[in-house]
Chains A and B, each alone.
Chain A
Amino acid sequence: DIQMTQSPSFLSASVGDRVTINCKASQNINKYLDWYQQKLGEAPKLLIYNTNSLHTGIPSRFSGSGSGTDFTLTISSLQPEDVATYFCLQHNSGWTFGGGTKLELK
C-alpha cells in the first residue's frame, strides 16, 4: 500500500502569510494527488485535484504543485476563513489520505 506523509502536522500563520503544506508518497503516484480542506464539524471539501487543477469555486490563492512523490499545497495569502485542517489524498493506486495539517491563525 502507498503511504502518504504530510507535513507539518500543525501550522500557525498570520493573515496575509504565504503558507505551504507538503505531502510525500512512499512511491510514485504520478499526478494523482488531491487536496481537501476540512472545517470543524464539516465534511471535507475538494480544493485541488490531480496535483494542480483548481476545483470550481475555489479561490485562486490556493494552488498545488509537484510530481512523482513530492507535492505541495500553497496558500498565497492566508485569509481568516482558511483556518481548517488540510488533507492530501493519493488515488494512483487505491486511495490513501495524508495525516492532515491543522492550520491556525497566529
Chain B
Amino acid sequence: EVQLQQSGAELVRPGTSVKLSCKVSGDTITAYYMHFVKQRPGQGLEWIGRIDPEDDSTKYAEKFKNKATLTADTSSNTAYLKLSSLTSEDTATYFCTGYYYSGPYYFDYWGQGVMVTVSS
C-alpha cells in the first residue's frame, strides 16, 4: 500500500523560506506524479503544482510560480516543496498527494498535511 509521510509542523519568520518533505513508501516515487495543495485555516483547497520525479518536470499554478519550487530525490523516494519569501498569507496546511503515472488520474493518496505558521 502506498503511503505519503510529510515532515513536521514549521514555525518560520517572515521573509525566510521553508522546505517541506513528502516521503513515499510502498512503491517507487518515479511511478507517481506528485502534487502539493495548500489550505489556509478554515479555507478551501488550492492546487500549487506537480512534479514528475522521473524527469523532474514541473507545472505550477500561476499564482505560485514565484512562491513555490518542487523538487524530488529519487534516492530517498521523497518530494519537496520549497516556499520562499514567506508572509502571513503562506500560513496554511500543505498536503502532498499524487497518482500513478499511467492513471487513473485522481488524488487517491494523500499525506497527513503539514502546518506552516509564518510569524515573527
Contacts and interface: CB of A to CB of B under 8 A. Distances in A.
Interface of A: 1, 34, 36, 38, 43-46, 49-50, 55, 87, 89, 91, 94-100
Contact of B106 (A34, A87, A100): A34
Contact of B45 (A1, A45, A94, A97): A97
B110 A44 contact: yes
Which 8 A/B pairs are nearest by Cβ-Cβ distance? A43-B110, A95-B47, A49-B106, A97-B45, A100-B44, A99-B44, A34-B106, A87-B45
B52 to A, nearest CB: 14
Contact of B46 (A38, A43, A49, A97): A97
Contacts, number: 53
B101 interface: no
Interface size range of chain B in the complex:
20 to 34
A87 B44 contact: yes
B55 interface: no
Contacts of B110: 43-45
Contacts of B50: 95
A18 B113 CA distance: 32
A43 B112 contact: yes
Interface in B61-90: 61-62
B104 interface: yes
Given A1-B62, A95-B35, A46 B47 contact: no
Contacts of B107: 34, 36, 44, 46, 89
25 contacts: A1-B61, A34-B106, A38-B45, A43-B95, A43-B110, A43-B111, A43-B113, A44-B37, A45-B110, A46-B107, A49-B104, A49-B106, A50-B104, A55-B106, A55-B108, A89-B47, A91-B105, A94-B47, A94-B59, A95-B35, A95-B61, A97-B46, A98-B44, A99-B44, A100-B44
Contact of A46 (B46, B61, B108): B108
A43 B97 CA distance: 9
Given A36-B107, A46-B108, A87-B44, 19 more contacts: A1-B61, A34-B106, A34-B107, A38-B45, A43-B110, A44-B97, A46-B107, A55-B106, A87-B45, A91-B105, A91-B106, A95-B35, A95-B47, A97-B37, A97-B44, A97-B45, A97-B46, A98-B44, A100-B44
